[in-house]
Amino acid sequence: MSNPRALTPELPRSLAARRPRIAVIGDALLDGWMTGSCDRLCREAPAPVVDVSKEDFVPGGAANTAVNLAALGAESLMVTAVGDDVPGDRLVASLRSAGVRTEQVVRAPGRITTTKRRIIAGDQLMVRFDDGDRGPLAPDVSARLAYAVSCAVAGTDAVVVCDYGTGVLGPEVIEAIKAVRDGIPLLVVDAHSLSRWQELKPDVVTPNANEIAALLGSALPSDAAGRLAVLERERGELAKLTGSRAMMATLDRDGAVLFDGDEPPHRTWARPAPDNFTAGAGDTFVAALTIAAAAGTPLSTAAELAQAAADVVVHRPGTAVCSWAELAERLGSDQGALSDPRQLVKAVEEHRAAGKRIVFTNGCFDVLHRGHVAYLNQAKRLGDVLVVALNSDKGVRRLKGPERPVNNESDRAAVLAALSCVDHVVLFDEDTPADLLRALRPEVYAKGGDYTPEMLPETPIVRALGGEVHILDYLSDHSTTAVIDRIRTGSS
């Protein structure tokens, strides 16, 4: 079976083949999408008239997380309470048709299932209207849901809690999860109010910017750099407030940032899409993160996989779902990742004309490991566009010996390009990327390892071109040679 630690097209396939059992506990709702055309205003008021030609209803909220998990290959169980009404029937039927188990969905007589309806004309969202009960469940329904939680959690590989404040997850449900917490290998909490779940000590929490601001009692800066600075400064306080081991802060168009214990922050970069195409992208992100983490994938790699999955769905209208096959295709789309040097010069000039700061680094990147990923992530944060110059197979053999590289240049380029922090990958045959540096004139040259700038032959070239040289963190126990030696000796 494929390595569940490498960000390649094989990773989604490997995760699907494992078929982990994952329970989703939370606020399930029905998403309605009414699409049509608009070419006039009504007589009663200056309001657009939409001639609706199509109406679709799909699972939303926690139910969309459960559907995404099923599409990614998990054995997905939905634990929730919905009304004993037509929308509730429609929601349960939709879950079943998507391959989600629903035996622990509790029906609540007299309760109105939460439904969010959107009217779309062309690509424009015209209006959204919501209905449904948002108060606490009746005591008997809450008791039934608490029992359903205890039944569903047994034997799971992970549990995802989706608490969006509809009243479904009351104190009885929290106590039921608390009672079985020791038996949950991985607890992921996606909640508007994370303080409610602090006592359960989640393994991972996934707050957005507004939820983080609520925890800290103050708004976050609007710019990405300002937000990241606040998050890094307050990471210890946020860990205390949420009780979590790791926090995956989602920042919409600015991607996400992972804080995992004492590890350096790991940021992902999104591929932005129109706002009306982003419904449910957070659910997809949480689902992909969870299925990867449940298989033992490092959280930094799981975060990259989650970002790739979210990037798939944000470029589709409606509440979309990402399957493991689509995710594999998305990662496989980087197989032709190598840039032509002449085209890259033009692309970099366009980036620079747009006011973007170019960061350049180089290396063999033979067996991509966590040290590489952390180093490339740091490099990207020094600017806006990251160019990675990759030693050709011939160059690697000349530098490392006849048994290297382990992976050929096309495979190495594809794995690098799959990282959200990498914008361009270009090949070079020489021992140093001097010609590329002169052609691209990067503002920053970044290098990882136990070097000083004066030790690098590239430093005089970069400085003569007006650029800066940055030496990044060196993780000595994560060298490629050490990884290959462990593989050859069979040690862990």
Catalytic residues: 283
Encode 428-447: b = buried (16+ Cβ within 10 Å), e = exposed: beeebbeebbeebbbbbbbb
Outline where DSSP puts E strands in 405-484: 424-428, 444-448, 468-472
407 assigned binding-site residue: no
As given in the structure block, the two tokens for residue 363 are 């290396």
Helix (H, G, I), strand (E, B) or coil at 481: helix
Neighbours of 221 (CB within 10 A): 12
Nearest to 324 by CA among 343, 339, 308, 348: 308
Helix (H, G, I), strand (E, B) or coil at 415: helix
Pairing outcome for strands 124-131 and 115-121: antiparallel
362 assigned binding-site residue: no
CB 428 within 8 A of CB 447: no
Q: Is the dihedral of CA 56, 62, 67, 72 positive or negative?
A: positive
Place of tokens 């700038």: 453
Pairing outcome for strands 358-363 and 266-268: unpaired
Q: Tell me, what DSSP letter sits at residue 315?
A: T
Q: Given 3-state DSSP classes, what are the helix, strand and coil percentages for the chain, each rounded to the nearest 5?
A: 45, 25, 35
CB 118 within 8 A of CB 95: no
As given in the structure block, the two tokens for residue 204 are 């991972």
209 assigned binding-site residue: yes
Place of tokens 């110059």: 389
- By the 10 Å C-beta count (0-12 exposed, 13-18 middle, 19+ buried), 352 is classed as middle
As given in the structure block, the two tokens for residue 20 are 């982990």
DSSP 180-230: TGGG-S-EEEEES-GGGGGGG--SEE--BHHHHHHHHTSPPPSSHHHHHHH
As given in the structure block, the two tokens for residue 253 are 């168009």
454 assigned binding-site residue: no
Q: Residue 121 contacts by C-beta under 8 Å, 6 or more apart in sequence? A: 35, 36, 37, 38, 48, 50
As given in the structure block, the two tokens for residue 403 are 């048994």
Residue 405 preceded by cis peptide, ω within 30: yes
Which residues fall in the annotated binding site for ATP?
A: 208-211
Annotated binding site: 208-211
